[in-house]
Amino acid sequence: METPHYVAARVQRALAEDERTTELGIRVDVRGEEVYLRGQVSCDERRHQIVNVAREAAPGLRVHNELTLVEVREPGEEEHL
């Protein structure tokens, strides 16, 4: 079995460099045959693409989508400096 450390590095690089994702801030953890993806994305379509790219970069492993959607709220309280 490939060392999990290198699998995680490969998935993380794929997510950053693949044109479908270009996501630099996704945390990738590999435990045995399980891959966990954590981080925030701005829409559901991007979340699916991240999972697709991760699956291609880690064939045969089970990818767990633990990504959350950034909820852009209306502006809140202002800060006085």
Partner 1 sequence: MRELRIAAVADIHLGEDLRGHYRKKIEGIERRADVLLVGGDLTRHGTIPEARVVADELSGLPIPVVAVLGNHDYHSDRNAEIIDLLRDAGITVLDDEGTVVPIDGVRLGVAGGKGFGGGFAGKCASEFGEPETKAFVRHTKEIAERWRRALKELDADYKIVLSHYSPVKDTLMGEPPEIYPFLGSYMLAEAADAEGADLFIHGHAHAGTEKGVTPGGIRVRNVALPVIKHAYTVYCLNGGY
Residues forming the site for partner 1 (CB under 8 A): 19, 22, 25, 39-40, 42-43, 45-46, 70-76, 78-81
Decide: 63 and 12 in contact? Cβ < 8 Å: no
Our CB check for partner 1 shows the closer of 5 and 74 to be 74
- Number of residues that make up the chain: 81
Phi, psi for residue 2 in degrees, rounded to 5: -65, 145
Phi-psi region of 60 (alpha: psi -120 to 50; beta: other; left: phi over 0): left
Nearer to partner 1, 60 or 76 (CB): 76
> Among residues 17 and 33, whose Cβ is nearest to partner 1?
17
At its nearest, how many Å lie between partner 1 and the CB of residue 37?
14
